[in-house]
Structure 1
Amino acid sequence: MLQRTSSINHIKVDSLGISSVFQIGDSHRIQALSRALAVQREAEIFFDNEGNFASYPIFSEPIPLIPVTENVKMSQQNLNPFLKVGNIDIIGVSSSSVVHLGNTCHVSMEARIKHIRHLLTDKEQT
Structure 2
Amino acid sequence: MLQRTSSVANIHIDTIAFSSIFEIGDSCLIQGFSRALAVQREAEYFDAHEGNFAAYPIFSEPIPLLPIDEVITIQTTQLNPIIKVQNIDIIGVSSSSVVHIGNSGNISMEARVKHIRQVYPKNRTSQG
TM-score grouping bracket, smaller chain normalisation? over 0.9
Which residue in the other structure is 1:125 paired with? Answer: 126
Distance in 2 (CA, whole Å) between partners of 1:69 and 1:91 is 39
SS at match of 2:100: strand
2: CA distance between counterparts of 1:99 and 1:60? Answer: 27
Aligned counterpart, 2:36 = 36
- Kindly provide the CA deviation profile for residues 14-71 of structure 1, in whole angstroms up to 9, marking residues without a partner as x: 1111111100000000000001011111111223333100000000000010111111
Separation in 2 of the partners of 1:123 and 1:80?
A: 68
In structure 1, C-alpha distance between the alignment counterparts of 2:125 and 2:56, rounded to whole Å: 27
TM-score normalized by the length of structure 1: 0.94
* Cα-Cα RMSD: 1.2
State the number of aligned residues: 126
Within 5 A, what are the aligned runs for 1:10-89? 10-89=10-89
The normalised TM-score by structure 2 is: 0.93
Structure 1 residues not aligned, in runs of 5+:
none
Residue 125 of structure 1 aligns with an amino acid whose one-letter code is S
Percent identity between matched residues is: 61
